[in-house]
Amino acid sequence: MMQAVINPTPKDYKSEVKPTWCPGCGDFGVLNATLRGLAGMKLSPDQTVVISGIGCSSRFPHFMKTFGFHSVHGRALPVAQGLKMARPDLTVVAVGGDGDFFSIGAGHLIHAALRNIDITVVVMDNEIYGLTKGQTSPTSPHGHVTKSTPYGLLASQFNPIATALSLNVSFVARGYSAKPKDLAALIEKGIQHKGFAFIHALSPCPTFYHTFDAWDAAVTSIPGDHNTQDRNSALALALETEKQFTGLFYQEERPTMDQAAHAQMLQAKSFDINQYMQRYA
């Protein structure tokens, strides 16, 4: 049985399993940021659950000493939402890659956004399918040449932040795995946020696509005067093509479905069938 840890440090969340990622993979930085973010919240590992789908980044739960569930392709969000509805006392974090969340799991992203259940999602985006050796993913740029698109990708590039904003996700942020301290601060804020928190983490796959150098040049902090309650200006930043803005784009506090469902359950428990029948007789 897992023991509670008072005042945990990042290493209290780290399992004995050594990450199997390629040397230089961006996911190391995201793991480091997640360990720091959870420690920053002083959350006991036995009160935290990390859930993933399938992909290189979805091996994540094995490397953490929290509870975890390495589920099936694209299904991290249904598992995470179900768990939070059943156990609102737990901190639930769903992790995975661009293929997992924006291709096979894309439908779940839409409905999770609409429900606003209090979970945190960290998407490690390398703009490629790494596990299956470098095919295009929804976030690969138009024209990208891979083994699956030898003459160039014909589809448009999926924009994760603009999509999350258009779905009215209540917390939208982007971090970069080369800046784990900043990313840790965003993960901590996302967990503190009451509602669905979406964190887009740029995480290079140097084996099959991006190197850190390519993103170092594009990553820029969101201007300090950006109003995080203004969805239109957040969208303008998200649609910027030359720069990859990082930081908090948008945050809005609104009722979560887990809270609302709990209130409905209480209402249902006090439901009086006789009163109901009399009223509608």
Q: Residue 11 CB: number of other CB atoms within 10 A? A: 9
Widest CA span in the chain: 73
Candidates 19-27, 104-112, 138-146, 234-242: pick the segment binding ligand SF4 (CB under 6 A): 19-27
Residue 27 interacts with which of ligand SF4, Mg ion, none, CB < 5 to 8 Å by class: ligand SF4
CB 201 within 8 A of CB 123: yes
Q: Is residue 56 close enough to count as binding ligand SF4 by CB under 6 A?
A: yes
Cα-flanking dihedrals φ and ψ of residue 114, to 5°? -70, -30
Contact between 40 and ligand SF4 by CB under 6 A: the answer reads no
**Does 208 participate in binding ligand SF4 (rule CB under 6 A)?**
yes
Near ligand SF4 in 220-279, by CB under 6 A: none
**Residues numbered 60-99 forming contacts with Mg ion, rule: CB under 5 A:** 97-99
- Of 35-43, 65-73, 141-149, 201-209, which part binds ligand SF4 (CB under 6 A)? 201-209
Coil, helix or strand at residue 175: strand
Torsion (CA) 83, 101, 34, 187 in degrees, nearest 10: -90
Which of 94/237 has CB closer to ligand SF4? 94
Q: How far apart are CA 3 and CA 219, in angstroms?
A: 40
* Crossing angle for the helix pair 76-86 and 257-269, to the nearest 10 degrees: 40
Please, are residues 124 and 97 in contact by the beta-carbon 8 Å criterion? yes
- 197 touches ligand SF4 by CB under 6 A: no
CA 156/CA 154 separation, integer angstroms: 7
Would you count residue 64 as binding ligand SF4 (CB under 6 A)?
A: no
* Residue 106 in contact with ligand SF4, rule: CB under 6 A: no
For Mg ion, the binding residues (CB under 5 A) are: 97-99, 126
State the residues that interact with ligand SF4 by CB under 6 A.
Answer: 21-22, 25, 27, 56, 126, 130-131, 205-208
